[in-house]
A and B are shown apart, each in its own frame.
Chain A
Amino acid sequence: MSDPGGMDDTERLRQALASLEAENESLRVEARQSRQLLRGLEALLRVEPGGDPFHSVFGSLWTTFDFAQAMVLAEQDGGLRCAVAQPAGLAGLEWPVGPLFRKVLDGRVTAVFSHRAVEEWRQAGPPLSPDQPALYMPLREARRRGILVLLRASGAESFSREDVALAQRFALLASHALAALDARQAIEENRARALAAEEATRAKNMFLANMSHELRTPLNAILGFSELIEGEVLGAVGVPAYREYAGDIRWSGQHLLAIVNNLLLLSRIEAGKYSPCPVPVGVAEALQGALRLLEFDLRRREIGVVLPEIPADLTVHADAQALRQILLNLIGNAAKFSPARSTVEVTFEARDDRVRLEVVDRGCGIPPDTLARLGTPFVQADNAYTRGFQGTGLGLAICHRLIASIGGSIAVESVVGRGTRVALTLPAAAPDADCAAPAEGPLPDGRPDGPARDAAAS
């Protein structure tokens, strides 16, 4: 096909050069646009958080685009409102959302060469010429959407496809920058909230600890003197009913003391001042110890506790007093929410390096919404089954924390009206480990708050 004069080759070379130059020009445009975008982005990110982020976008425009006027329209009450503008007189102008703005809000950058047939302009009637070419860019930040509008003078050259391409990249970067600004602001707000919450918790714990100490002092006098009266240590009371009343005072005082002790323990745990001392503890002895403490209440309501045959050498790695409090709480709650003259069943399973104890009752059960919140202080199931029971909701909250502190876990399954199964899993101690002495002494700081179940009905 080539002609003898080599003209084809010359023309091909010329066209190849033209193609290369065109490619070069395209790269130059790309580089120039990237520089413009970078400057715009730098301006955008220099803006301190706290102000309206749409304003910061506005400030970054001037380094990127060639235009005469600009507006940022922000979504408000189903329409758009000009949040910031140059000239400032356009600020506050309200715009409806029509076909054009819908497309832009949905993410499309759009150049408009004439607004004469644009529905939004017809309705809003802005103090602008409909022949002003415009470039519309979508803006998104976490809380709202907006539109950035650049306007040229009436009769000026329309924004081009290259402007649209640049605007697409700018809108994307601006939205990312807004998201970053928003995230930074959210982090700072969260940090401030966390600090405030920590401060509030610290104050609350201090108050609880102080109040508990203040309560314990008179309680000791109440308990001591009521015991003296009940036991007629200094002489007969005379009227038998008074002796019974003194017994009631003592019982109520003990109940109150348990609550105060629980409050003190919880505040110590939450303040990070509670340190467990895990040692090998015999499971059978720990269970028997807990049952001895509950004996009075169990007998009073004729609740039987069925214990399995537990090998004497089965031990767990736990703080002995914490374990006693956990067992007291779990079995005490099961008994409390069981009907009179029923039984609570305890089972165990030793597998690998864990020991699993289950406490099963046939009580009133826990509603699903309360199950999800178990372990939160002061949470009790609020239903018809539990309203007749006392409790502060502290016991299970303390249990959860004590269990976590000794490397254990707890799982609760419950069906309202049928009962509850609480599974306690604890790390097993080495088989030949020496066991701690039975935890019969005073509780670390508290004991179950009397016979009351803390978290929920069972």
Chain B
Amino acid sequence: MVQIHSFSAAGETTGQTLAALAGRLAGANLSADLLFVFYGSDHRDAEIHVFLQERFPGVPVIGGTSSGGLLSHQGLLGPGAIGLLAVEDPEGEYGVATAPLGPDPAATARALLDRALAEAGCSGELPALVWIYQSPGQEEAVIEGLRAGIGDGCPIVGGSAADEAVEGGWRLMSGEGPIGEGLSVAVLFPSGGLSFAFQCGYEPAGASGVVTRVDAPAGAASRSRRILEIDGAPAAHVYDGWIGGRLAEERRLGGNVLAKTTLHPLGREVGSINGVPQYLLVHPDAVGADGTLKVFAAVSVGDRLLQMTGSQGLLVDRAGRVASEAASRLPGGAGSLAGGVMIYCAGCRMAVGENMDAVARQVRESLAGKPFLGSFTYGEQGQVVGRNGHGNLMISFVAFGR
């Protein structure tokens, strides 16, 4: 029998927040088998680690920093919050492995998968789901490394740790302690049902173009997060033309465009389900004065990029629908839901702004009040049309059945 417990608290300092969290845990008689932990990047990781070690010795831990607070069944919690989601499943098997990515992120990811499986006592076995948390930047390589082992037969879901201002302040937390740049891999073999949903809340706006040049060494796989040209013209110019010239100033001087592009990202069609196209989003985060367009997910020469468009209303509704869809896909149906973990793009969170409480409310209603915990991230991983991948401005929910 799987039980999910979610606890969270917010405070001025890490010590105060942990003290409040300890108070909430004091009344709970739980024995965790896997722990998700999310917290604001201003918190002191070492204190959080000690706290977890004392209260949950030997329990596999995965998580890290979140941008702009946390989501839980209690609502939106401010940036000072720390949240825990405990999976209590004595008959299930769980393992987590964490390490810096090093010079070969794909090889590291593959090795961490094997380590996590060994930790779970399931060497070589295909898990029900692989859940990852990582520092932003190498997500595609990480996914490739994991796919080299498990292929697409097992969903890989997760997020990229975030800070408050895209300043590199993100960290990961594991049972071994916090790290800055790295990857945590959790393998899940729950005794109950498990399902997930991974969607975006955007649609094509009409314009599109083919990537003709990226910032990648000649002869190497022409894949990069710096797009130089679309349809043979400077990428930033083409993109700004699609979205009505909103980036004129940044194009002239170069600069961050994250907030301005959240509702107007790029998209790649990654397949279709019975004729309905499915997209992975690419979020432009900066433009260069030379016309380059920097994005949060790698694209390849030859990729067709579509102008996508969204709205605050869609982003509010989407989270509840994603949670609801994941719950309904449980083998025992939504009624068997024990709780779950959500990843919500930090860019979307920024666009929704003050209405995030409505997001939390909708998710809570979709899950009939069952406990959940959500983190705001700088990249989202999941499976679209049967293929594991990395995208931006996405939302995922992993539902645990009883």
Contact = CB atoms under 8 A, between A and B. Distances in A.
A7 B273 contact: no
Interface of A is mostly: helix
A111 B153 contact: yes
A148 to B, nearest CB: 16
A138 to B, nearest CB: 14
Contact of B125 (A3, A24, A26, A100): A100
B222 to A, nearest CB: 26
Interface in A111-139: 111-119
Given A3-B313, A111-B125, A164-B126, A117 B273 contact: no
Contact of A24 (B117, B121, B274): B274
A343 interface: no
B269 interface: no
Interface in A153-179: 157-164
A97 B121 CA distance: 15
A18 B126 contact: no
A312 to B, nearest CB: 74
Contacts of B275: 21
A99 interface: yes
Q: Which of A14, A116, A160 has the most CB of B within 10 A?
A: A160
Given A1-B316, A3-B311, A8-B314, A118 B153 contact: no
Contacts of A226: none
B155 interface: yes
Nearest to B316: A1
Given A7-B203, A111-B153, A158-B153, A118 B325 contact: no
A1 B353 CA distance: 13
B123 A117 contact: yes
A8 B126 contact: no
Interface in B186-208: 199, 201-203
B20 interface: no
Interface size class of A (residues with CB under 8 A): 35 or more
A39 to B, nearest CB: 23
Interface string B302-329: 0000000111111011000100010001
B380 to A, nearest CB: 17
Interface residues of B, number: 37
Nearest to B355: A1
A10 B114 CA distance: 44
A159 B314 contact: no
A25 B202 CA distance: 22
B118 A160 contact: no
Contacts of A24: 274
Interface in A1-53: 1-3, 7-8, 10-12, 14-15, 17-19, 21-22, 24-26
Interface in A294-317: none
Contact of A15 (B123, B153, B321): B321
Contacts of A21: 273-276
Given A158-B151, A163-B153, A116 B124 contact: yes
A110 B128 CA distance: 10
Contact of A113 (B151, B313, B321): B151
Contacts of A17: 276
A18 B311 contact: no
B203 A111 contact: no
Contacts of A159: 126, 153
Contacts of A113: 124-126, 149-151, 153
B47 interface: no
A10 to B, nearest CB: 6
Contacts of A12: 314, 317
A112 B125 contact: yes
Given A14-B276, A18-B278, A8 B125 contact: no
A163 B199 CA distance: 24
Nearest to B325: A19
Nearest to A163: B153
A160 B153 CA distance: 4
B124 A1 contact: no
A110 B273 contact: no
Interface string B112-133: 0010011001011110100000
A11 B355 CA distance: 20
A157 B152 CA distance: 8
Contacts of B334: none
Nearest to B121: A99
B19 interface: no
B122 to A, nearest CB: 8
B233 interface: no
Contacts of A164: 126
Given A11-B203, A25-B274, A114 B124 contact: yes
Given A8-B314, A111-B153, A117-B114, 8 more contacts: A1-B316, A11-B202, A17-B276, A18-B276, A21-B274, A100-B125, A157-B152, A164-B126
27 contacts: A1-B355, A3-B313, A7-B203, A8-B313, A8-B314, A11-B201, A14-B276, A15-B199, A17-B276, A19-B325, A21-B274, A21-B276, A25-B273, A25-B274, A100-B125, A110-B126, A112-B125, A113-B125, A113-B149, A117-B124, A158-B126, A158-B154, A159-B126, A160-B151, A160-B153, A160-B154, A164-B126
Interface of B: 114, 117-118, 121, 123-126, 128, 149-155, 199, 201-203, 273-276, 278, 309-314, 316-317, 321, 325, 329, 355
